[in-house]
Amino acid sequence: MSWLSNIPPGIKNIFKPKDDNSDTLWTKCPGCGEMIFQRDLDAAHQVCPSCDHHLAIGPGERLALIFDNGDYQDIELPDPVTDPLKFRDEKRYTDRLKENRRKTGQHDAMRAAYGTIDGVGVVAAVQNFRFMGGSMGMALGEAMLKAAETAVEKRAPLVVFAASGGARMQEGILSLMQMPRTTIAVQMVKEAGLPYIVVLTNPTTGGVTASYAMLGDVNLAEPGALIGFAGPRVIEQTIREKLPDGFQRAEFLLEKGMVDMVVGRSQLKSTLSKLIRVLMKERRQAPVSLPAATPAPKAEPAAIPAQKKPAAKKTDDAPKLDKAAE
Ligand SMILES: [Zn+2]
């Protein structure tokens, strides 16, 4: 190890190469590799102007993007017991939390807010992937419950933006318990007759996909988002087979029927607005029968003959049995 590595960080900062500043001025697009002027990227809400790659977006920017005039009120979230297991890996869990709180300015991985989308009151909860990989611990469970309770109280739809690596291992079984808890939170919103919409963003994996992230009345996804339970590398190693192109990406899941729509960030607010208006109207009035004109999904024609075959066999069998009985 050279003596250079022992220099205190304060002194290092003074002699930081000027190149470090370029990070804030230019960003390299992970999709096409092009250098994008940061101001252009900000104006496009972190979407690459050349290849439409959707880069990560912070919760504040996300909320400002969907709510009218960028106005919203943060919902105060409960603060559960910190580090009940006194967990320690390379670092103490409490130190990890402190570090992430400083880095993100958030208390934990989820932020919830109330605002309006085209005049309709909406509760939105956003997961911040920068906070310990958006991991789901007790604080997140509490945040989801609080968001759901607020939605019910205000008779407002709940929109969740999921981004997570899954359960927070530092909380062991307590983090896994958040799967049923968040599911109950979602159920509460549904039982109140209010819409629950999920927007799956890059990446949504693990216990989050296995609970509230897949329970939306409508599940939207951002283009190119990785969505799955186990990651592609783990699956490939387990089944020892090459996975198809685009596996677990939003577009692949749309094709397979796991996701309802893939919506670009520029269209997100208008799409949410339309969905909320349709769903809220439907629930306030008497049950509306769906028009027959709704296009049937592609998979259906194939499914119908397959179902008919066994049914036909049964009817063939039935008279024979009758005859035998006679
Ligand atoms: Zn690009």
Predicted confidence (pLDDT) per residue in 258-269, tens digit: 999 999 999 999
In a domain, 80, yes or no: yes
Provide the CATH number for the domain around residue 177: 3.90.226.10
Ligand 1: centre distance to CA 295 (Å): 34
Ligand 1: centre distance to CA 161 (Å): 23
Percentage of the chain beyond pLDDT 90 is 77
**Which residue, among 151, 91, 74, has the nearest Cα to 120 in the 3D structure?**
151
The residue out of 55, 81, 103 marking a domain boundary is 55
- For residue 73, what are the contacts with CB-CB under 8 A and spacing of at least 6? 113, 114, 115
Ligand 1: centre distance to CA 55 (Å): 9
* Backbone φ and ψ of 36, nearest 5°: -115, 135
Q: Are residues 94 and 50 in the same domain?
A: no
Ligand 1: centre distance to CA 236 (Å): 27
Ligand 1: centre distance to CA 43 (Å): 15
User: For 41-66, how does the pLDDT look when each residue is reduced to its tens digit (9 = 90+)?
Assistant: 999 999 999 999 999 999 999 999 99
Question: What CA–CA distances, in Å, run from 112 to 74, 93, 306?
Answer: 6, 24, 46
Ligand 1: centre distance to CA 237 (Å): 30
Ligand 1: centre distance to CA 311 (Å): 52
Q: How many domains does the chain have?
A: 2
In a domain, 235, yes or no: yes
In a domain, 183, yes or no: yes
In a domain, 4, yes or no: no
User: For 122-160, how does the pLDDT look when each residue is reduced to its tens digit (9 = 90+)?
Assistant: 999 999 999 999 999 999 999 999 999 999 999 999 999
Q: Are residues 245 and 134 in the same domain?
A: yes
In a domain, 258, yes or no: yes
Q: Are residues 82 and 211 in the same domain?
A: yes
Ligand 1: centre distance to CA 109 (Å): 27
Task: Provide mean pLDDT across the span 193-201.
Answer: 98
Is the model's pLDDT at 288 over the cut of 50? no
Is the model's pLDDT at 314 over the cut of 60? no
- For residue 281, name the pLDDT band (cuts at 50, 70, 90): confident
Q: Are residues 77 and 224 in the same domain?
A: yes
- For residue 15, name the pLDDT band (cuts at 50, 70, 90): low
Q: Are residues 256 and 222 in the same domain?
A: yes
Distance CA 199, CA 268 (A): 9
Q: Are residues 62 and 49 in the same domain?
A: no
Q: Are residues 22 and 97 in the same domain?
A: no
User: For 71-121, how does the pLDDT look when each residue is reduced to its tens digit (9 = 90+)?
Assistant: 999 999 999 999 999 999 999 999 999 999 999 999 999 999 999 999 999
In a domain, 260, yes or no: yes
Ligand 1: centre distance to CA 59 (Å): 22
Q: Are residues 31 and 149 in the same domain?
A: no
Distance CA 74, CA 112 (A): 6
In a domain, 261, yes or no: yes
Ligand 1: centre distance to CA 194 (Å): 38
* Domain span at 233: 57-284
Q: What is the mean pLDDT of the chain?
A: 87
Ligand 1: centre distance to CA 296 (Å): 35
Q: Are residues 44 and 102 in the same domain?
A: no
Q: Are residues 119 and 155 in the same domain?
A: yes
**Alpha carbon distance, N-terminus to C-terminus of the chain:** 94
In a domain, 208, yes or no: yes
Q: Are residues 152 and 141 in the same domain?
A: yes
Q: According to the model, what pLDDT value does residue 24 have? A: 74
Is the model's pLDDT at 34 over the cut of 90? yes
Ligand 1: centre distance to CA 28 (Å): 8
Ligand 1: centre distance to CA 22 (Å): 18
Q: Are residues 138 and 268 in the same domain?
A: yes
Is the model's pLDDT at 176 over the cut of 70? yes
